[in-house]
Structure 1
Amino acid sequence: MTDPRSTDPRLGLTVTHRRYVPHAHAHYGGDLVDGAYTLGLFGDVATEVAIRADGDEGLLAGYSEVRFLAAVQAGDVLEASCEVVRVGRRSRELRCWADVVARAEPSRGASAARVLDPPLRVVEAVATLVVPGADS
């Protein structure tokens, strides 16, 4: 008999948001942006995952793992994604990642920028999303 969890249509559901990082979010020298900025993006993406998967905004309850791999800078264009990798009765485990897909190049000019090919992976995380149970 097939395990019903292995055929859950929510498994593999992936949502991606793309956002420009404004200079107002730079808090450190070199126009660096704090890691909380990207975690906030993961919260927004997880909310859309919950809406699509369960018809409710749900709640991003926490992270079991967060890895900051490279710096995020003002002027970056970030792509934040979450994929459903496990479905429980009321919880969903999400694999989250963020990539810089374009980056400012102020050394070439005030508005100079380039597309990064390949994108630069800056954050990876594993998150738990909680949604109301069927009995709520």
Structure 2
Amino acid sequence: MTTPPDPRLGLTVVHRRYVPYAHAHYAGNLVDGAYSLAAFGDVATEVCIRTDGDEGLFASYSDVQFLAPVRAGDVLEIEARVTRVGRRSREIAFEARVVCRGRPDRSASAADVLAPPLVATTATGTVVVPPPD
């Protein structure tokens, strides 16, 4: 008899957030790569709450790829998808996409919707949750 697949596999959580100009660290209003990693941590917290009723703890990142710049004035869409479920660990695939981009070259408040979105950062992460009761 085969065991049914774990219902937590494939669970996907998506957050969106505006990148404030106060977070720009570099010329061209660029933000540092840690901004995407912090966003991954936030969405991973919701994944853990949904899968295990606990905020969980981040154990590691692997295969982090910075593929395109993230700039102040962007709107990011951050997606987390559960790819593996262990007894206490969960492996999660992350993707941060720029869905809107500020256009200060046109005016102080101009922005464009990007279609298709621009994939800025990807990573794989492992979180741990308390042991089951």
TM-score, normalized by length of structure 2?
A: 0.97
SS in 2 for 1:41: helix
Query: What is the deviation of 1:108?
Result: 1.1
| Deviations, residues 30-87 of structure 1 (Å, cap 9, x unaligned) | 0000000010000000000000000000011110210000000000000111000000
Q: Which amino acid aligns with 1:42?
A: F
Residue equivalent to 1:63: 61
Residue equivalent to 1:133: 131
**Of 33, 54, 60, which residue of structure 2 is paired with 1:35?**
33
Residue equivalent to 1:44: 42
Tell me how far apart the structure 2 counterparts of residues 24 and 64 of structure 1 sit (CA, whole Å): 28
Deviating above 3 A after TM superposition, structure 1's stretches of 4 or more consecutive aligned residues are none
How many residues end up aligned between the 2 structures? 133
Tell me how far apart the structure 2 counterparts of residues 3 and 127 of structure 1 sit (CA, whole Å): 26
Tell me how far apart the structure 1 counterparts of residues 62 and 32 of structure 2 sit (CA, whole Å): 19
Query: What is the deviation of 1:107?
Result: 1.2
Query: What is the deviation of 1:29?
Result: 0.4
Equivalent positions of 1:102-121 (< 5 A) are 102-121=100-119
Q: CA RMSD in A?
A: 0.9
**Of 10, 23, 42, which residue of structure 2 is paired with 1:12?**
10
SS in 2 for 1:107: coil
**Of 94, 98, 120, which residue of structure 2 is paired with 1:122?**
120
Unpaired segments of 5 or more residues in structure 1? none
Q: Which amino acid aligns with 1:104?
A: G
Tell me how far apart the structure 2 counterparts of residues 60 and 18 of structure 1 sit (CA, whole Å): 20
